[in-house]
Chain A
């Protein structure tokens, strides 16, 4: 059964705490998965999730369904908070040294080092992105999960800025097609 996110947000706007709990139960894994992929560290991702849902609780009266689904409302904030954290804790400099897909999927948890879970994680990370050509997937991951700007990506990949822009556009169009076809 699909969660009626909009109804929950409407109830949250009236100060309904149970609605927040239900909203959290429905969407926390969406925010956590994304934050963890961006930050790597589950503790930092947990902090981001708590902050994000606290913000959403307070911002609920301002939610406008015309500006996006609850899923987009949550992911835009979660991504933004996680990237802020990456930048403020200067972890980006460390990440720049290693390929992003490894940096974003590697986990300090010992159990994550077992070959099986690593492979499984890669599958998860790449999901729809896996269906993109490598060069398009790379720029989207570096921007969305790595928080790099197009100029930084251009430097990092030693590709002209125009090429980076074009790959972003083609990649996003392809991603939309792939996900649109799924559902």
Chain B
């Protein structure tokens, strides 16, 4: 929302003249922590204080007297005891002093505690306001922090993807630059006759499989690549998934058991893969 409506209301707020909806909207705006408006209000309050200074007029002297009398009585020095002329006078004096002391004490205590209670109540009210302000500030900061964190997480995710793609491309390039790398074509079988695959294979570096037009994977299933040579059982070479277009890739490390496979094949297996093929074969190369 534009800030312009609030610019129009700042002066009215400083003059204590907002009412109705304007008052509510502006209070909410300030509670949301608008620094521009808070500063403008403080500035206008200074302006009004300066304007008020031109009205200055000395108050009647009794106001000062009454104000200072209202303060908590100061601690009085203990009067030094004087020798009394007679025991009677001393006793009468003592009784009178006791009476005055009792009266003074109760009045003093009352005044002091009332003042202290009032001061504490005022302070509690101020602290409550400050607490409410702090709470709203903390809530705002939390929201902003959550947004920043979610943006960072998204950026991390994108970065990871870009890194993975870059590593994949570098690996493919390395494979292609090596004259001992061969390209093996895989063709679709059974459930996905239109599927295609290309395997870049290097006996010392391993390889990289690109598959296309495979069937989307059912839940809990993956595609698994197998390397086959001679009469040995197929060696598992990794699992992969496919995107909505049936595309998938798989980097394969060098296989100690079958450095130069004669056949590559892909089967549908349970998530996590199997040690020997169990599901239907979807892609296979011709025997080299």
Q: Which residues of A contact B (CB under 8 A)?
A: 17, 20-21, 24-25, 28-34, 36-37, 42, 45-46, 49-50, 53-54, 57-59, 61-62, 67-69, 71-72, 74-76, 78-80, 83, 124-125, 127-129, 140, 143-144, 147-153, 165-166, 168-169, 171-173, 175-176, 179-180, 183
Chain B residues contacting A80 (CB-CB under 8 Å) are: 16
Contact with A along B41-83 (1 / 0, CB 8 A): 0111111111111111111101110111011001000000000
Name the segment of B4-12, B185-193, B195-203, B258-266 touching the other chain: B4-12
Interchain CA distance A161-B248 in the complex, whole Å: 68
Q: Which residues on A sit within 8 Å (CB–CB) of B22?
A: 150
Q: A140-B15, A172-B44, A176-B44 are in contact. Are A33 and B52 (CB under 8 A)?
A: yes
Name the residue on A nearest B40 (C-beta): A172
Contacting residues of chain B (1-29) with chain A, CB-CB under 8 angstroms: 7-12, 14-20, 22
Q: Are B11 and A172 in contact (CB under 8 A)?
A: yes
Interface of B is mostly: helix
Q: In the bound complex, what is the Cα–Cα distance between A173 and B10 (angstroms)?
A: 11
User: A79 touches which one: B52, B62, B64 (CB < 8 A)?
Assistant: B52
Using Cβ atoms and an 8 Å threshold, which residues of chain B touch A30? 49, 52-53, 56
- Min distance, Cβ B161 to any Cβ of chain A, angstroms: 48
B57 and A33 contacting across the interface, CB-CB below 8 Å: yes
Given A17-B71, A28-B64, A32-B57: A168 in contact with B51 (beta carbons within 8 A):
no
B115 at the interface (CB under 8 A from A): yes
Which chain B residues have a beta carbon within 8 Å of chain A's beta carbons? 7-12, 14-20, 22, 42-60, 62-64, 66-68, 70-71, 74, 115, 118-119, 122-123, 126
CA distance A148 to B56 in the complex (A): 22
Check A36 against B71 for contact (C-beta < 8 Å). Answer: no
Q: Are B15 and A76 in contact (CB under 8 A)?
A: no
Checking B20, B46, B51 against A68 with a beta-carbon cut-off of 8 angstroms, the contacting residue is B46
In the bound complex, CA of A28 to CA of B53 (Å): 11
Let me know if A20 and B68 touch, CB within 8 A.
yes
How far apart are the CA atoms of A183 and B74 in the complex, in Å? 41
| Most A-side CB within 10 Å, residue of B47, B71, B74 | B47
The reply to whether B12 and A29 form a contact with Cβ atoms under 8 Å apart is no
Residues of B within 8 A of A74 (CB): 49
Question: Which residue, of A69, A83, A127, A150, has the highest number of chain B Cβ atoms within 10 A?
Answer: A150
Minimum Cβ distance to chain B for residue A55 (Å): 8
- Interface pairs (21), CB distance under 8 Å: A17-B71, A20-B71, A33-B55, A33-B56, A37-B55, A46-B60, A50-B66, A58-B118, A68-B46, A71-B50, A72-B48, A75-B45, A75-B48, A76-B49, A79-B16, A140-B15, A150-B17, A150-B18, A151-B20, A171-B11, A175-B51
